Amino acid sequence: MRAVVGGDLSVVNLQSDDLANSYQAINAIEAAGGQVMHIFGPGLLIARVPARAQAALKKRSEVRPLRADGIALASEPTSEAEQLGLEAWNLRQSDQFADAKAERPRDGERWDLQEDSVSPDGAGMRHVGGEDVLGALERAVEDTSPYLIGSVAVGLILVEGPSAALQFSDVERTKVVAEVQEGLTWLGSREPAASVTWSYDIQTVRVNVTPDPTLTGYEPLESLWRNPAMGKLGFSQSFQGVRDYVASIRTSLGTRWGYVAFFTKYPLHHFAYASKPRLVMHYNNDGWGPDNIDRVFTHETGHIFGCPDEYASSGCSCSSRYGYLQEVNGNCENCATDFTPCLMAANTWAMCRYTSVHLGWRDSDGDGTLDPVDPLENPAIDLRRLSRRFPAVTSLLRAQGFDLALDEPPNWYESVPLFFLRRVLSTEELARVVAAIRDEDAQYADAIAHKLETLARSIREVGEPHASGRVGRRR
């Protein structure tokens, strides 16, 4: 078969319905220097397996021989994720799939190149990374995807309606999962030090809702089918239900991060858009077609992990900062002096150096550990001393649901409060916060204290989180 993205991957098929056995196999692969790229239930792993890891796996009785071509499951699938994950893998090994990728429409075009182009994301969308108070408030809820390092729970929810036009065929369901598998294989392979693993929960949900032609806007059109779908899955019929679902799959799949992608054939305000912790896509993928779902999905996943758009009509600016590491958008087409091809700007498998840093992939001290998880780059911040030194932080933390009355408040390393402060304060300001706590410094810039107090007041005025249809409006 012709190579596709991730042509060096193999299927690890386990005769087991026990997730613990899966993790033992994962440990054997990673200990030998390999990478588990995808987990579709306890019986199906897709991994890059070095020769020494293959030898170790062959000794495990529950592991079938590794295969790099189409296979059948060792036993009955234990979940929709396992069944569709295998069908997607087999499709990706076919000549049919390779031909579709070789002949994909509009390959290499910038997302807004043609006058009739419809770019991903839509008009009026503001992605995570804005520097205003509203942008900071939107990040007050727990960020389940601050940077792309480690394991990620991916919820794929295919929402169908009562008519044939709103339903997915078996072939289309497999196509969606194959496109997602293709795109996330590419993304997860870009930075070996990030050790990215995608772990899936896949649900097909049919709701008894007919399209309403009077509705307009992101949230009205989305909530029409999204809310009843969340109800069918056992969650509240609101945007909070989406957050709760993401929290649940992070727990059940045992991952570091998580997000959810909705695929549907219901009318949308725009065919693809994202705001933490969810992205939404129409199966037809507008003028780009289903054979480009892989790249559009991966582009939207970039937004989930903090990457901005780089194409000109997005209104991007080279001075704006994005991502956990607050890197400038230096490859913005409107102002870059040396613009380079990048998926955040065009329909291409290419990534510019700025997008890499937006994802959290920077190793400042060259020690092999990426900055967001390097203790040398991220000193622990004592919660009690932080709140005592800057009283306004207490309101910020309480707004995020943290109990400050604990007998032993923890040191917040890679914590939500620290995520929040990193986005509210500049690198220099945050360094001064750390120094002020460490040195019990009584002299601190009034401007920074005022900044925190303004945020605290704004949270109290905004009140409880609510759903909104505009990308970036996650409250």
Q: How many Cα neighbours within 13 Å face the side chain of 254? A: 7
| Per-residue pLDDT reduced to its tens digit, 168-179 | 999 999 999 999
Query: Is 405 or 260 the better-scoring residue by pLDDT?
Result: 260
* C-alpha span between 452 and 217 (Å, rounded): 33
Whether 324 and 360 have beta carbons less than 8 Å apart is answered as: yes
Give the least confident one: 4-18, 222-236, 383-397: 383-397
Rank 10-14, 28-32, 269-273 by mean pLDDT and report only the highest.
269-273
Sorted by sequence, the CB contacts under 8 Å of residue 282 that are 6+ apart come out as 263, 264, 265, 266, 268, 271, 272
Give the least confident one: 190-194, 315-319, 373-377, 451-455: 451-455
Cα 200 → chain centroid: 12
| Per-residue pLDDT reduced to its tens digit, 138-154 | 444 678 999 999 899 99
Owner of token pair 């920074």: 448
Sorted by sequence, the CB contacts under 8 Å of residue 321 that are 6+ apart come out as 129, 131, 327, 328, 329
Q: In terms of C-beta distances under 8 Å and separation of at least 24 residues, what long-range contacts does 323-326 make, across chains too?
A: 323/129, 323/147, 323/357, 323/358, 323/359, 323/360, 324/146, 324/147, 324/360, 324/372, 324/419, 324/422, 325/147, 325/357, 325/358, 325/360, 325/362, 325/371, 325/372, 326/422, 326/423, 326/426, 326/427
| Per-residue pLDDT reduced to its tens digit, 268-279 | 999 999 999 999
pLDDT reported for residue 3: 43
User: To the nearest whole percent, how much of the chain has pLDDT over 70?
Assistant: 71
Instruction: Respond yes or no on whether the N-terminal peptide bond of residue 228 is cis (omega within 30° of 0).
Output: no
Pick the CATH number of 109-359 from 2.60.40, 1.20.1070, 3.40.390, 3.10.450: 3.40.390
Residue 365's Cβ-count burial label (10 Å; 0-12, 13-18, 19+) is exposed
**Yes or no: domain 9-79 corresponds to CATH 3.30.390:** no
Give the least confident one: 238-252, 293-307, 385-399: 385-399
Tokens found for residue 361? 């992939």
* C-alpha span between 274 and 246 (Å, rounded): 14
Q: Does the pTM of the predicted model rise above 0.75?
A: yes
User: To the nearest whole percent, how much of the chain has pLDDT over 90?
Assistant: 52
Domain locations along the chain: 9-79, 109-359
DSSP code, position 246: H
Please determine, for residue 408, whether its predicted confidence score (pLDDT) is greater than 60: no
Mean pLDDT across the chain: 81
Please determine, for residue 463, whether its predicted confidence score (pLDDT) is greater than 60: no
Rank 2-6, 18-22, 295-299 by mean pLDDT and report only the highest.
295-299
Sorted by sequence, the CB contacts under 8 Å of residue 343 that are 6+ apart come out as 295, 298, 299, 302, 349, 350, 351, 355
Average pLDDT for residues 159-163, to the nearest whole number? 99
pLDDT reported for residue 201: 97
